[in-house]
Structure 1
Amino acid sequence: MAAKLLLLLFLFCMGVYCRNGYKLKQVLILSRHNIRAPLSTNLQRTTDLQWPVWETQVTHLTPKGALLEGYIAHYIAEWLKEEGLISDSCPAKNELHVYANTPQRTKETAKAFVKSAFKNCNVSVHYKDTAKMDPLFHPVVHNGTEEFKEIGVREMKDILDKMNLKDTYKLIDEIIDFKNSDICRTESMCDLVNGKNDIIFELNEEPNVYGPLSISNSIADFFLMSLYEGFPKENIAWGKMTESHHWRLLSNIVREDLNVRFNSSILSKDIADPLVQYMANILLNEETSAPKLTLLFGHDSNLYSVMASLGFKPYNLPNQYELTPIGGKLVFQKWYDEKHKRDLFKVNYVYQTVKQLRHGTPLSSENPPKSVILEIKGCKINKKGFCPWEDFRKILKSSD
């Protein structure tokens, strides 16, 4: 009984109000993949120190990542069952749609989710059969005009100019001894603090920078994934990341990298447009054929650009270093207010804490994932976290 009450407490935080005249009608979850091996294959150029070896192939979902995805999937499925959106039996084909980007880490995250959430059910994970990134999830520049490029580059430069990462660069510099790196020897870039970031902005390519920010982001990614994967402390940053404020400094690199590349007013809308339109077609489909539950598995760039495009207000995620945590999920919800006969909208960020990721403990009523209510500009929420569905519909329609 106690465990049941604790579960209901978590569900309340997720937005459970069915007992007070609110009924959950539809959910769309946009998820980042879970723990993967680091992305970069060229880190040896950043230091003469020897990097730890991962057992999992570069960029691939790790076995622990699949396990953790199963934990959060089970918890979310219990919430959906409690609300009556899905039943204990296997979902019908028209009730559930699961779609993942083409890289191994996104496909395998999706498979780990459905395997845990819908045990012994024949649930298909849809994805394109190609080695290339699915255009729906690929965060690239779509507008090829010179005017758009000029504005996009200027906005990226403005964000770069306002960044203050000196303390973070100093920390990384001290850890890797950058002045003795191959990059220093061959490119004459020997100081991350005073190095120059060059903007890369081309049609059908991801907006990017090359310089201290990109180099430091690759290093930060390696350290963070090592932390989540559970590497011994002496094998993370050669034992030099000893304080929590070190991790907060490091996470600033990841945040600012996403900020520069995907958070300008004009760029985010262009980059996220295919995915936003896809989501809008599902969420605004009034036909009975619209799936009750849609699961989309992509990357931090997808979540970040979608939030920037739709106008999400600033937020904080307790017990996490990142704004788009590994395995984290944007949970878009459509509710029906039976008392006032109207549809309502709500969105939560559901994620596992750093401690839950590192220790790999199963989620339970005593150890639930975190859930934070978010707000979108133009869709003012009430004390319960709801805003009128019509206001959210207008936001999605304005993105056409």
Structure 2
Amino acid sequence: MSAAATAPWNVRSTAGRRAWARSSSSDPDVRSGGAALPRGAVFFPGSPPMPLPPPSRIPALVLVPWLLAAASCAGHADEPVATPEAAEPKLERVVMLMRHGVRPPTKAPVSPKGTHDQPWPEWSTDYGELTAHGYRAVALLGHWDRRRWIEEGLLPEEGCPWSADIEIAASAKSRAQDTARAMAEGLFPACSIEIAFPANAEADIEFHPLDSGAARMDPQQAMAQAREMLPPGGEAALVAENAPLFGLLERALGCCSPTFCEAGPRPASKQCGLDALPAKFEQGGGGRPKVGALLGTASTISQTFLLEYLEGFPMEQVAWGRLSRDEIGELLEFHRIKFRFEGRAPYVAAHAASPLAARMLASLRDGARLTLLTGHDTNIADLGGLLDLHWQVPGYPEDDPPPGGALGFALFQAPDGERLVRAFYRSQTMDQVRELQPLGDDNPPYFEYLPIPGCDAPCRLPDFEALVESKLVAPGA
């Protein structure tokens, strides 16, 4: 069902209000809640539109081939030809959805008893919280974004930005809120920047619409679409296709002890392995399909190995010294598989991503110069599925969202006044995070503009609006 006909919210307004909490980047320990978000959730109708700042008028300096116009003038062949300033594109706004930074596993145990022969390493941070290392890595990324956006005219070179020019919001999870603080520190050193976030999980209608009950979908239809994406032979064929990766994962784990397989039906002649876990897809919360215990556990384990590497654990502690960095990257295929089947089916993506997509579209139309939303890999995967966007950070599988990575949209004004949209993905590499490498011209993070299927390049803003609105669904639709 299209939101263009049925959505009860006005995506042209960024003024909807819910119960949110605020904090300042200068006080990373603030956890108070209840204040209204100035530019709030567009998922539900709110108060009348608030005054919005005028667009920036400083030209962008990035090379955007489809925006640059060649200058021409009469004269001698040996005279230099100058490109007039008016011919350069002007960056008006950026709206970016970012995954939180490095964290420990969200809970214990990482894998079932009997699947690993060594204890999992200890972390210095509680389960699921942003680590100090992760905070510093995100701040470095924010500093690089600051330099880039100063050059492109989006941010002031000196001083602090006007509050109306910046909007930063996070999910109800503390790791996302702390990531927002780290970004604010990197983007705006010594500035007090407000960060908005939901007062509680029930109010997190944008980042967790299914869990909060703000969005609902038919579980059977969602599962049917996910299963349509399976290869011939279903889950068994998918597992068989990835047999070499399961072998690599079991070698790293020292899997498995005979006691692990005793409870399940299994031929006596077959060696005990992870495939003792059920592979059949399952129904998850909010109607979202889940890849099942086998692939879900493989995804969690591979992600944990990645996080150990990014955190800077000694290599003898990363996967107990049994994997190289490149092998960890190979195992992240399980993470990609999880998000492909749980979030990229069109019906699922539309219901899961509509709240954030609606907010991002409203912000791109007439919001702050910079809107930064910090959430989770699920949010990025859902949004990528909604718009069929694809990326690949070096060292990661296609479409895998690394910690600190961001999917965003930039709004440019062409010399003729046309407003044009480009999608992009930006992320540090594994070693840039692990080693806390300073980022600059000689060591930039991965940044790539992405094709937007269904919208010709250059993608005109009205066409982008129509494309996104055609994919949005109303709550409960």
> Scaled by the length of structure 1, what TM-score is found?
0.87
Q: How does 1:1-400 map to 2 (within 5 A)?
A: 11-12=62-63, 20-43=87-110, 45=113, 46-87=115-156, 88-130=158-200, 134-138=204-208, 140=210, 148-160=218-230, 161=234, 163=238, 164-180=241-257, 183-187=260-264, 190-193=272-275, 195-202=277-284, 204=286, 206-242=288-324, 244=326, 246-285=327-366, 290-312=367-389, 314-321=390-397, 323-338=400-415, 340-381=416-457, 386-400=458-472
* Change beyond 3 A, Cα 1:139–1:208: farther
Q: Which amino acid aligns with 2:206?
A: L
Deviations 1:213-265 (A, max 9, x none): 01111211110001111111111112111362x22330110100111110112
**Which of these two proteins has the greater Rg computed from alpha carbons?**
2
Distance 1:243 1:66 in 2: 22
The answer to whether the 8 A contact 2:101-2:138 is kept is yes
* Change beyond 3 A, Cα 1:220–1:292: same
Q: CA RMSD in A?
A: 2.7
SS in 2 for 1:347: strand
Q: Which amino acid aligns with 1:83?
A: E
Q: Which amino acid aligns with 2:302?
A: A
Q: Which amino acid aligns with 2:334?
A: I
The answer to whether the 8 A contact 1:34-1:61 is kept is yes
Distance 2:260 2:202 in 1: 29
* Change beyond 3 A, Cα 1:283–1:291: same
* Structure 1: gaps of 5 or more residues: 1-8
SS in 1 for 2:172: coil
Aligned residue pairs total 379
The answer to whether the 8 A contact 1:14-1:348 is kept is no
Distance 2:65 2:438 in 1: 19
* Change beyond 3 A, Cα 1:280–1:171: same
Q: Which amino acid aligns with 2:455?
A: C
SS in 2 for 1:110: helix
Distance 2:325 2:435 in 1: 18
SS in 1 for 2:190: coil
Shift of 1:321: 4.7
The answer to whether the 8 A contact 1:40-1:218 is kept is no
* Change beyond 3 A, Cα 1:76–1:11: farther
Distance 2:276 2:143 in 1: 47
The answer to whether the 8 A contact 2:295-2:338 is kept is yes
* Structure 2: gaps of 5 or more residues: 1-59, 69-83, 267-271, 473-477
Q: Which amino acid aligns with 1:265?
A: P
SS in 2 for 1:157: helix
The answer to whether the 8 A contact 2:391-2:450 is kept is yes
Deviations 1:257-299 (A, max 9, x none): 11111011211111111111111222233xxxx2111000001
Distance 1:398 1:22 in 2: 28
Distance 1:309 1:355 in 2: 30
The corresponding residue for 1:3 is none
Moved more, 182-191 or 294-303: 182-191
> Scaled by the length of structure 2, what TM-score is found?
0.73
The answer to whether the 8 A contact 2:222-2:289 is kept is no
Deviations 1:110-167 (A, max 9, x none): 001101211121110100122557221016376656xx32221122233343632211
Shift of 1:330: 1.5
Identify the structure with the greater helix proportion. Answer: 1
Distance 2:227 2:204 in 1: 28
